[in-house]
């Protein structure tokens, strides 16, 4: 399990160096106290004791200075490593951006030339398919399906996932290149340059086009409290406060009731809310009544007020959370991306953030609350958020699948159960940054209330 503080690619080393610097700080504290207590002269007249006292004073003072110097040097080295890594990434992305822009430019022009021929070939292929006997078509379809299953393990291969992450970083450059912008200008506008274009701008374009086609990821929603009785107003059940990361991850709901909100009171009467958000409903039709769908995913990537985001806001209001209320957000997949956006929105006072398998690389954590981002190295979904921008969150990368790709599964490393297992490992971690974050999450001594919500997109039908 790799733990990264700041989301850098050289995270393991950087986190380790910072942890060592913290240990030296811990050592400096008693050294400083000792140096203040060492007297300047000895009340014992013995010259041997006077010499020992001088040695002790020197060891304490110089030890303190050296400890502080080493801690500072380690922090400086960690910072330098991050800077070098970021610079190398920018150079590589700039070159790749220009290459992709040129390729897209050529491909579009070539496509325009070849379009009549391609159209003719497509029509011919479809006609030939229709002319085939039913049994032949079924056989070909089955073979294609088997080939697809055979390719499924590739979706969990780290090299393929790295390529996907890079491809998502460059998709905006390809779009600008296809529009005919010169390659150097594309590079200057993109992530490696001014940052004016990016995955979010492409996603915004897709959302707009989808809306024109009648599929809206930003349509309004209705939120219903599960089990709510209009007369008695019930629907909440009693629940103990969550302990640590694994307990929070285990409370993430299924997409059918995608929002769960718990309310706890502290001994001084103040309250805080724990919000748990589900991942995408893979069976939901695009732009249908279920707002936890692909259309909301694209709207989220575009930074737009997706239907699922609106639903969480509405549920929080219904649960009694006011602007500025204390809230801890926990989410899986799309729920994790939502949790990150809401935690960063400033609408509530965020007390903590826990995400698992979320495509949230483009939404860095800038707030000073405890934030833990858990990903699996072999999970495709987090790569869809592109490369991770520098973040204050502690990023933990674990292994989703051990011992090969389980048969009959497409994205096993993305399964919530596997993330629950990783979360247990996180709780057991002895990494100082992780321990500090878990300790910083709120705790309650008395039980609270739990309420689940369903959400329904208001469609044009």
Which residue ranges make up the site for other proteins (CB under 8 A)?
Answer: 10, 12-13, 16-17, 20, 23-24, 26-31, 33-34, 37-39, 42-44, 46, 49, 52-53, 55-56, 59-60, 62-63, 66-67, 70, 73-74, 77
Name the 3-class secondary structure at 398. Answer: strand
Smallest distance, other proteins to C-beta of residue 70, A: 6
Smallest distance, other proteins to C-beta of residue 376, A: 21
Smallest distance, other proteins to C-beta of residue 157, A: 23
Of the candidates 154, 457, 101, 461, the residue with the CA atom closest to the CA atom of residue 309: 457
Of the candidates 289, 312, 211, 214, the residue with the CA atom closest to the CA atom of residue 457: 289
Nearer to other proteins, 255 or 398 (CB): 398
Nearer to other proteins, 14 or 199 (CB): 14
- Rounded to the nearest 10°, the torsion over CA 202, 205, 206, 212 is 180
Nearer to other proteins, 27 or 188 (CB): 27
Nearer to other proteins, 52 or 126 (CB): 52
Q: Which residues have C-beta within 8 Å of that of residue 139, sequence separation ≥ 6?
A: none
Smallest distance, other proteins to C-beta of residue 72, A: 12
- Alpha-carbon gap, residue 9 to 165, rounded angstroms: 13
Taking phi first (over 0 means left), then psi (-120 to 50 degrees means alpha), and beta for anything else, what does residue 299 get? alpha
Nearer to other proteins, 63 or 288 (CB): 63
Q: Which residues have C-beta within 8 Å of that of residue 27, sequence separation ≥ 6?
A: 67
Nearer to other proteins, 396 or 455 (CB): 396
Burial of 381 (0-12, 13-18, 19+ CB in 10 A): buried
Nearer to other proteins, 33 or 439 (CB): 33
Nearer to other proteins, 66 or 254 (CB): 66
Smallest distance, other proteins to C-beta of residue 375, A: 20
Smallest distance, other proteins to C-beta of residue 44, A: 6
Name the 3-class secondary structure at 274. Answer: strand
Smallest distance, other proteins to C-beta of residue 60, A: 5
Smallest distance, other proteins to C-beta of residue 269, A: 39
Smallest distance, other proteins to C-beta of residue 53, A: 6
Q: Which residues of 65-80 are buried (b: 16+ CB within 10 A; e: fewer)?
A: eebbeebeebbebbee
Nearer to other proteins, 12 or 424 (CB): 12
- Alpha-carbon gap, residue 251 to 43, rounded angstroms: 65
Q: Which residues have C-beta within 8 Å of that of residue 404, sequence separation ≥ 6?
A: 153
- Alpha-carbon gap, residue 305 to 322, rounded angstroms: 19
Nearer to other proteins, 20 or 226 (CB): 20
157, 163 contact by CB (below 8 A)? no
Please, which residues bridge with residue 239 across strands?
448
- Alpha-carbon gap, residue 332 to 343, rounded angstroms: 14
Name the 3-class secondary structure at 141. Answer: helix
Tokens of 315: 């549920």
Question: For the chain, how far is it from start to end, CA to CA, in angstroms?
Answer: 48
Smallest distance, other proteins to C-beta of residue 456, A: 50
Secondary structure element (H or E) that encloses residue 199, with its range: helix 199-212
């Amino acid at each position: 399990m790799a733990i990264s503080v700041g989301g850098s690619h050289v995270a393991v080393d950087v986190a380790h160096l910072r942890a060592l610097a913290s240990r030296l700080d811990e050592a400096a504290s008693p050294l400083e106290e000792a140096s203040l207590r060492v007297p300047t002269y000895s009340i014992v007249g013995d010259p041997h004791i006077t010499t020992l006292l001088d040695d002790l004073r020197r060891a304490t003072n110089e030890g303190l200075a050296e400890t502080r110097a080493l801690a500072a040097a380690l922090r400086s080295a960690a910072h330098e490593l991050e800077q070098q890594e970021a610079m190398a990434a920018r150079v590589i992305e700039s070159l790749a951006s220009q290459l992709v822009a040129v390729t897209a430019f050529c491909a579009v022009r070539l496509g325009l030339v070849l379009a009549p021929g391609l159209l003719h070939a497509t029509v011919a292929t479809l006609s030939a398919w229709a002319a085939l006997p039913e049994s032949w078509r079924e056989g070909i379809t089955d073979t294609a399906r088997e080939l697809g299953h055979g390719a499924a393990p590739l979706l969990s291969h780290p090299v393929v996932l790295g390529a996907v992450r890079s491809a998502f970083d460059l998709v905006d450059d390809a779009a600008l290149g296809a529009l005919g912008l010169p390659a150097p200008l594309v590079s200057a506008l993109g992530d490696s340059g001014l940052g004016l274009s990016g995955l979010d701008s492409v996603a915004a374009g897709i959302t707009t086009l989808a809306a024109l086609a009648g599929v809206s990821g930003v349509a309004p929603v209705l939120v219903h409290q599960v089990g709510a009785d209009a007369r008695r107003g019930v629907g909440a059940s009693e629940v103990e406060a969550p302990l640590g990361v694994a307990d929070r991850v285990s409370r993430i709901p299924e997409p059918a009731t995608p929002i769960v909100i718990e309310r706890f009171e502290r001994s001084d009467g103040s309250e805080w809310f724990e919000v748990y958000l589900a991942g995408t409903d893979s069976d939901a039709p695009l732009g249908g009544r279920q707002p936890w769908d692909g259309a909301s995913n694209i709207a989220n990537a575009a930074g737009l007020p997706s239907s699922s985001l609106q639903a969480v806001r509405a549920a929080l209001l219904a649960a009694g959370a006011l602007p500025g209320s204390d809230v801890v957000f926990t989410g899986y997949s799309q729920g994790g991306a939502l949790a990150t956006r809401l935690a960063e929105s400033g609408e509530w006072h965020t007390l903590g953030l826990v995400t698992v398998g979320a495509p949230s690389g483009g939404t860095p954590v800038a707030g000073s609350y405890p934030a833990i981002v858990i990903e699996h190295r072999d999970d495709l979904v987090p790569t869809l958020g592109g490369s991770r921008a520098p973040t204050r969150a502690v990023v933990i990368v674990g292994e989703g699948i051990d011992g090969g790709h389980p048969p009959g599964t497409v994205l096993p490393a993305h399964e919530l159960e596997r993330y629950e297992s990783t979360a247990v490992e996180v709780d057991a971690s002895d990494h100082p940054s992780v321990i500090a974050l878990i300790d910083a999450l709120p705790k309650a001594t008395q039980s609270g209330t739990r309420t689940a919500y369903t959400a329904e997109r208001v469609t044009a039908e």
